[in-house]
Structures are given as C-alpha cells and as structure tokens.
Structure 1
Amino acid sequence: MEIIRFADLKPEPWRNRGGVTRQLASQPKASSTPDGDWDWRVSIADVSKAGDFSPFPGMERMLTVVEGELLLLTVDGADHPLEKYRPFRFPGGAQTQGSLPTGDIRNLNVITRTGGFKGFTSIIELSKKRAKPIFEGQLGILLQGQATAGVGTQEPETLARYDAVVGSDVDTPDVLGRGFLAVVSIDPVVD
C-alpha cells in the first residue's frame, strides 16, 4: 500500500506566482518533466489572493474547494461561485480568474490532457463500519476527520489531513473512519 504524505510535499509557487501548490501525483512523474509537460496531475493549492489562474491549453481542469467557504471563479467571462466540496470542470486553456469573497481557500486540482485522460472527483462521507476501497487509477485523499487505510489483515496506517492513498486492484487499500474523503479517478480515454 502506498500513502502520499501531504506533510512531506514541497510547496511550489504557481507559474503566475499567485499561490502555491503541492503535487500529489502526476503521469509522468513531476521530477522528470517541466510544469505542464504531463498527461495528468493531481495537486492541492493554497489561494491567498485574487487573480488570474495559470493557463493549461489542451488540458481539462476539475477544481474542488476543500478548505474555506467560497471561490468565485470567472471562466471566459462567466462567473461560477464554487462552494466547498462541489467539484467544477472547465477548460484548462480558458481565461480564468479567481476572487476570494470570504477569505483564503485551499483547492484540489485535477488536470488531464484532453483526449488522453478524463479526471473525476467525488466527495464521500466515510464510515467506521463500511470500508471505502481505493482501486487502480484512483487516489483517496482525506479532506477532514480521522481515518485509517489498510490492506487485508495488515495493521492499518493512520491518515493525516490531505494524505493520499494510492489505489490498486491487486492489494486494494480500504479506508475507514469518520469525515470526508475525495476520491479522484483518472481514466484513460478509449476511442
């Protein structure tokens, strides 16, 4: 079982210097490619000032506010108020600005190469009695509360806020606890 510990991730400034992001996962791995030279990326960003979002032409974005109350996103001139835990999909190359009417926010970003991959984000409430399996092509990210992740009979590991469990179809990890989990799925597009 693989767990990506949020506390171990290095904050990196946005291309436009309007905030910082911590990358949870990408394909190919970020260490081997420059920013934007990947097929998909999952990251958590801190937004502390209003301004333009970095463009990602040829990509599709899914953004979910995970901390804070509201992000007012303007995409190609249309306003979209984004509330906590409500994923929103938009073109990565669109002219996009964000404003913070209720203060700083943190968001979960899923960016995929259009025509190659499709990203999905679901927010689920965890249960202490019914495990949530995390399958191949998925990440389970603890947004709030207390949870553990384990495989089979091995001792479960405690998750901290924003830790990500990497899915597997061989030894499928299960997440148990109380709180909210983002399940991010990255699916290859098949013609």
Structure 2
Amino acid sequence: MITVISPEYFKTIPWKNGLGSTTELAISPNSTLADFDWRLSIATVANNGMFSDFSGYERNLVLIEGNGLTLKHDSGQVDELSQLLDIANFDGGWKTDGLLTNGTIKDFNIMAKQGCYQSNVCTYVAKQVVTLDPKRSSLCFAYSLSGEIQIIQGDHKLFAPKGFLCRIDNQESASEKDINLIGEQMIVIELTKHEAKR
C-alpha cells in the first residue's frame, strides 16, 4: 500500500534533551519518544551542542538545509556533513557533539531500534529513477527537498509534492511489482524487520 502524507499531519515535539524541537514525520504504531521501533523527523539546529541519548538505536542523519555540520562522537568517529544530502550513520548511544559550520542547519533523522529493524538510507541529488523491490524490505519512505516524486507501480501512478512524505507498506504478496520513484534531491529509506529468533 502506498500513502502520501501531507505536512499537516506532521507533529512538532520537544527534543528528548529539551534543547530544541523537532518535526516528527512518522513513527512506528503505538510508540512514544522513549520506546519506538522506527522514527522519521526533521530538526532545526541553531546552536552547537550535544545530541540526545538514543541508546539502542541506529541513527542516520541527512543534511537538508544550511552550510554544514560536524558530528564528533566519543567512539572517535567524525562525520563531516558539508553538502546537501550528505549522510552520517552512527550509534544513538554514542555521546555526539554537533558543531555548526556557519549558521543554522536542518537535518532529516531516521532512527531504527537495533535488533528490530535494519535501515538503509540513500540520497539522490540529480533527477533519476530509483527502483524498489517490495520483497526486499518491510517498509519504505521517500521525501524530496525540491520537487514532486512520481511513484509508479504497474499501471498505478501517484505523486508526492515537495515536503510531503511517501510511505510504502510492503506487506502484500511476494508477486507485487517493483515500485519506481522518479525525482531529484530525494531521501529514500528502506526499513527491514529482523526475523524473531526462535
């Protein structure tokens, strides 16, 4: 099932550390900020400072506006986000210090609970066709910074305008046709649910 979600359904909530607020685009059902399986959000960062502790989660952070951000983690890893749609992938339990390059930025956050979901995040600057195999992941999202996304599956076609979130639930039969996303400055997220251990 493919759903296009309007920004009017996004929620603005405080950061976990209380130092700012974030726009929550989507979150796993029956979840809270303290306990969720996956979550997508956009945050404005206006000052240098420590990131919230999200121990037990894998984080992907994408630069979507501004002049850049450096993330220094206590693991020793350093992520330099200098170009639009640069991605940082890191453990949410690390102590992470965010240093602005030159002024306020916005970032797109994807968080997935470790051992529950595996996330694969890709960004595409130039206009192109991205093909998704419904059998490969449990849930997909797409978001464009600059224009609409065309979503094509067989004879069906939908459009997600700039700033809208496209959600694709891959719970249908294994015979479902591939889905093509056509757009530019896109963030495409595939979430794969880990099989429960027996």
> TM-score, normalised on structure 2?
0.79
C-alpha RMSD of the superposition:
2.5
Taking the aligned partners of 1:158 and 1:35, their CA distance within structure 2 comes to 27
Q: 1:132: how far off?
A: 4.9
Taking the aligned partners of 2:131 and 2:62, their CA distance within structure 1 comes to 20
Taking the aligned partners of 1:7 and 1:99, their CA distance within structure 2 comes to 31
Taking the aligned partners of 1:158 and 1:24, their CA distance within structure 2 comes to 14
> Unaligned regions of 5+ residues in structure 1, if any?
none
Taking the aligned partners of 1:168 and 1:38, their CA distance within structure 2 comes to 18
Q: SS state of the match for residue 11, structure 2?
A: coil
User: What does the per-residue CA deviation read over 1:44-66, in whole Å, with 9 as the maximum and x for residues that have no partner?
Assistant: 11111111111011111111111
User: What does the per-residue CA deviation read over 1:55-102, in whole Å, with 9 as the maximum and x for residues that have no partner?
Assistant: 011111111111112111111163322233122111111111111122
- In percent, how many aligned pairs have the same letter? 25
Q: Which amino acid aligns with 1:122?
A: C
| 8 A Cα contact 2:147 2:161, kept in partner | no
Match of 1:65 in 2: 63
Taking the aligned partners of 1:131 and 1:85, their CA distance within structure 2 comes to 16
Matched, 1:103 2:103: yes
Q: 1:137 aligns with which of 139, 146, 163?
A: 139
> TM-score, normalised on structure 1?
0.82
Matched, 1:11 2:3: no
Q: Describe how 1:1-191 pairs up with structure 2 within 5 A.
A: 1-27=2-28, 29=29, 32-76=30-74, 78=76, 79-83=78-82, 84-124=84-124, 125-127=126-128, 130=129, 132-133=131-132, 135=134, 136-149=138-151, 153=155, 156-161=158-163, 163-169=164-170, 174-177=180-183, 179-190=184-195
Aligned length: 184
Q: 1:156: how far off?
A: 3.7
Q: Which amino acid aligns with 1:175?
A: L
> Unaligned regions of 5+ residues in structure 2, if any?
none
| 8 A Cα contact 1:149 1:175, kept in partner | yes
